[in-house]
Amino acid sequence: MPGPQQQVTARTDRGVEEADVIVVGAGPSGSTAAYHLARTGLDVLLLEKSAFPREKVCGDGLTPRAVKQLTDMGIDVSEQAGWLHNKGLRLVAGGRRLEFDWPELSAYPGYGLVRRRADFDELLARRAAAAGARLVERANVAGPLVDERTRRITGVSAKLGEGREPVEYRAPIVLAADGNSTRLSVAMNRHRRTDRAMGVAYRTYFTTPRHEDRYLEAWLDLRDPDDRTRRLLPGYAWVFGMGDGTANVGLGVLDTAHVDLDWRELLRRWCEELPPEYGYTPEGVTEPVRGSALPMGLNRQPHYADGLLLVGDAGGTVSPGTGEGIAYAMESGRFAAESVVQALARRTDRGRELALRTYPQALRSAYAGYFALGRLAADLLGRPRLLGAAGAAGLGQPALLKIAFRLMVNLTEPNSKDALDRLLHLIGRVAPGK
């Protein structure tokens, strides 16, 4: 088993490496999938185009859904191990600030976490390697290997290391966990659905005396500073204390045809309007503003066909209502791993196909209703006139903020004593989705 810093690059003399399963991409979805696959004894190749540590644009805040996935992987999430724990979510809107604690549920813990993505992603990848996955860094996947007769994927071709040495990796099942651009999925004719909303996120870091804030903070009344009416924008801004003297500050917005702004400049100007106690100054910014796309609402399909499964951002698992991605990426990786384990235990081709088809079914069962609600909200928020009227009437109302909190965090269960909790759980399960 590789040590914590060892890169596995085992190959045959012919430049071909074989495995039971190949996972392309060692982000949260790919590493989670590789961990759950490897712990069953399967031979797993986990291919990462970069070398750790590497940067990813993210808010760095983790909800209890993500905490559950981490603890299920046996990861130490104590503060002594470098995690900052938080109590819940503070919503700021209409001049009001309301704090909502994470609910203590049977399925999820009552706390969230914060950790930088560069550190977080490497920790997950090393955990997968410790479980037996063969992690190969600097393996830049060039495209799929396809059986000409069946059109099934049989592996991937890649360029390995700084010397870009060509190599082939072969396996009967491949997981695409290569992010929003997902060149592997596109090469297999899995294209993004244009009827699904896309989002964008931009973030930076600045030094602040509030770096140990025990609440994640979301500002819902994000406005266009150049519009004379100060129109509300379809998104929100956040400030997440990192516990290391800095805060991650950013904004997430719907990338719609109705909104055409310089988001980096908007974030800079929004930061300048923060209250004095946040300690924001331009001199206190520690990193440049960086942005990325948010593939939402299961927007790339089919999630399984011809031996290829799409997980995480490659499959569009970001919540269209909130932009939360890490928890759903990890969950999708686990769903995919469970389907693959069952498939490889089957004795017939038909049996293996039936087992692999349970993966998109699991995604639909878990997310279709909730994501349908998110897409509805995204559609409404993407209409500036409607957003302006609704926002002016509702922002800051405690009852509406409570509903907003419950919808954003997606932490419900059917036997809750809270009537709103039970109602939202029911709606999330029966709302039409596809």
CA distance 221 to 183: 36
Q: Cα Rg for the chain, rounded, in angstroms? A: 22
CA distance 32 to 363: 16
Split at pLDDT 50, 70, 90, the class of 185 is: very high
User: Within a domain: residue 134?
Assistant: yes
Split at pLDDT 50, 70, 90, the class of 433 is: low
Residue 379 has pLDDT above 50, yes or no: yes
What is residue 417's DSSP assignment? S
pLDDT per residue over 45-56, tens digit each? 999 999 999 988
Show the domain range for 318: 16-56+117-194+297-369
Residue 8 has pLDDT above 50, yes or no: no
pLDDT of the residue at 4: 35
Number of domains in the chain: 1
pLDDT of the residue at 383: 63
Split at pLDDT 50, 70, 90, the class of 381 is: low
User: Within a domain: residue 91?
Assistant: no
Strand ranges (E), 197-318:
198-207, 215-219, 235-241, 246-254, 290-295, 304-305, 308-310
**Mean per-residue pLDDT over the chain, rounded:** 88
Contact predicate 206/289, CB 8 Å: no
pLDDT of the residue at 432: 56
Split at pLDDT 50, 70, 90, the class of 23 is: very high
pLDDT of the residue at 88: 97
pLDDT of the residue at 368: 85
Q: What percent of the chain lies above the pLDDT cut of 70?
A: 86
Pairing label, strands 173-176, 21-24: parallel
Residue 404 has pLDDT above 60, yes or no: yes
User: Within a domain: residue 2?
Assistant: no
pLDDT per residue over 205-259, tens digit each? 999 999 999 999 999 888 888 877 777 888 899 999 999 999 999 999 887 645 6
Torsion angles phi and psi, residue 92, rounded to 5: -120, 120
User: Within a domain: residue 411?
Assistant: no
User: Within a domain: residue 135?
Assistant: yes
pLDDT of the residue at 224: 83
- 282 prior amide bond cis, ω within 30: no
Q: Say which residue, 330 or 416, is predicted with more confidence.
A: 330
Those residues with Cβ within 8 angstroms of residue 151's Cβ, 6 or more apart along the chain or in another chain: 306
User: Within a domain: residue 332?
Assistant: yes
pLDDT of the residue at 261: 83
pLDDT per residue over 289-337, tens digit each? 999 999 998 999 999 999 999 999 999 999 988 889 999 999 999 999 9
Split at pLDDT 50, 70, 90, the class of 38 is: very high
Residue 10 has pLDDT above 60, yes or no: no
Percent of the chain that is helix, strand, coil (3-state, to 5): 35, 25, 40
pLDDT of the residue at 330: 98
Tell me the CATH number at 28. Answer: 3.50.50.60
Query: Which stretch, 275-279, 395-399, 404-408, 418-422, has highest mean pLDDT?
Result: 275-279
pLDDT per residue over 150-170, tens digit each? 999 999 999 998 888 999 999
Residue 430 has pLDDT above 70, yes or no: no
User: Within a domain: residue 203?
Assistant: no
Helices (H), 39-94: 64-72
User: Within a domain: residue 71?
Assistant: no
Q: Which tokens hold the place of 11?
A: 């190959």
CA distance 169 to 173: 11
Give pTM, 2 decimals.
Answer: 0.91
Those residues with Cβ within 8 angstroms of residue 426's Cβ, 6 or more apart along the chain or in another chain: 414
